[in-house]
Amino acid sequence: MNLALDKGCLSCHGTPPRGKAPTIAQLADWYVPLKGQEDQIAGKIGHLREHHLFGGVPAHERLSAGEAERFVRWLVDGGR
């Protein structure tokens, strides 16, 4: 959660979320079923930082590869 706070993720993914962005809890619900599926997890990590994702999200693009991996794995573990 500290990474999400430090990187400003809750600005869009907090409660209430900004626009149509899912909350952290919703993201975790979607990611938990990926536990143990390393290929799926790796795909999510890569997509999180891609420029074209959702028309380009500067906060996503500023994440380092390591930060993106920590964040996705945190969500896979329930985001709590």
What is the per-residue DSSP string for 4-21? HHHTTTHHHHSSSPSTTP
CA dist list (Å): 76 to 4, 44, 53: 14, 10, 20
More confident residue, 55 or 63: 63
pLDDT beyond 60 at 53: no
- pTM metric for this prediction: 0.84
The secondary structure of residue 51, as a DSSP letter, is T
Q: CA 17 to CA 10: how far, in whole Å?
A: 8
Query: 3-state DSSP call for residue 74?
Result: helix
Measured in residues, the chain has a length of: 80
What does the domain layout of the chain look like in residue ranges? Answer: 2-12+21-76
